[in-house]
Amino acid sequence: MMRILLFLATNAAVLVLISIVFQVFGFEGILAENGVDLNLQALLVLSAVIGFGGSFISLALSKFLAKRSMGVQLIEQPRNNTEQWLLNTVKRQAEEAGIGMPEVGIFNSPDPNAFATGMRRNNALVAVSTGLLQNMNADEVEAVLGHEISHVANGDMVTMGLLQGVVNTFVIFLSRVIGHVVDRVVFKTERGYGPAYFVTSIVAQIFLSILASMIVMWFSRRREFRADAGGARLSSRQKMTGALRALQRNTQPQDLPGEFAAFGISGGIGRGMKKLFMSHPPLEQRIAALESEV
């Protein structure tokens, strides 16, 4: 709850700062001189409501969507030794990390992967793929589970949701400002909105969304190093390094679908500009970071 309040307060402060800067530099006056009747304060608030609203709805539904879209089968009554071991390992790691026991599940995928999701640290979901269980030994799976438990303990799902809400806010706000200015100043629309507003707003939103995605993915890559370190603490550095090396043996790693891509143990490989949109850093960098820790 404190994390949510802090982000909301930070975003509110940024909105206020932007409003003050616009007033100090006379941006509103310049718009008025050019006949641009735009209430920036109201637009900022509306953008924040839309930006955070979508992000929070997605976060609130994340567990439900994961179970449905990924076909996660929850382990409620263990049917074999592997499922019992998974429950026991997650329970031990959750206790060490100081969080409530997450739901534990398995989803059918040949790719070795795992993810954690949920709106609250004490009510999360940790799921592993059948490919992970088939291609990794117990020590490596233990490290992967520790990595995912660390994501939950660090509040990464909430943090990512809040960050997405912040960037959504400013993408919506700036795209509408650009569309409004072009419509009023360039095309001289006097009442309502002309086609220029909608076309320009859409183009600006697409461009700004691309830039925003780069920011969100940069943060996603940074938190992977922290989760690796957490996985090493909950298992061992040797086990965590072994798990990452095991993932390297998968020559064609794939992102998890949709919003779950950022929460998998690994992601796709990117080259050139594509690297800026990767949710995970290269495995060799993650291994090097673990090995360099004192």
Q: Average per-residue pLDDT in the chain?
A: 82
Given this model, what pLDDT does residue 111 score? 87
Q: Is the pLDDT at 38 greater than 80, yes or no?
A: no
Q: Count CB neighbours of 251 within 10 A.
A: 6
Residue holding tokens 């940024």?
Answer: 14
Do 104 and 74 form a contact (C-beta atoms < 8 A)? yes
Q: Is the pLDDT at 240 greater than 60, yes or no?
A: yes
**Identity of the highest mean pLDDT range in 91-95, 187-191, 199-203, 218-222:** 91-95
Q: What is the DSSP string of the chain?
A: -HHHHHHHHHHHHHHHHHHHHHHHTTHHHHHHHTT----HHHHHHHHHHHHHHHHHHHHHTHHHHHHHHS--EE-SS--SHHHHHHHHHHHHHHHHHT-PPPEEEEE--SS--EEEE-SSTTS-EEEEEHHHHHHS-HHHHHHHHHHHHHHHHTTHHHHHHHHHHHHHHHHHHHHHHHHHHIIIIIS---SS--HHHHHHHHHHHHHHHHHHHHHHHHHHHHHHHHHHHHHHHHS-HHHHHHHHHHHHT-SS--PPSGGGGGGBS------GGGGGG-SS--HHHHHHHHHH--
**Identity of the highest mean pLDDT range in 17-26, 61-70, 91-100, 270-279:** 91-100
Read off the pLDDT of residues 98-107 as tens digits, 9 standing for 90 and up. 999 999 999 9
Read off the pLDDT of residues 129-188 as tens digits, 9 standing for 90 and up. 999 999 999 999 999 999 999 999 999 888 888 888 888 888 988 898 898 888 877 887
Q: pTM of the full predicted structure?
A: 0.80
Read off the pLDDT of residues 61-87 as tens digits, 9 standing for 90 and up. 888 888 888 889 999 999 999 999 999
Rounded Cα distance, 35 and 29, in Å: 10
Given this model, what pLDDT does residue 231 score? 95
Instruction: Given the residues 83, 142, 148, 259, select the one marked as catalytic.
Output: 148
Q: Is the pLDDT at 97 greater than 50, yes or no?
A: yes
Domain count, the chain: 1
Active-site annotation holds for 148: yes
Given this model, what pLDDT does residue 27 score? 54
Domain containing residue 113:
1-294
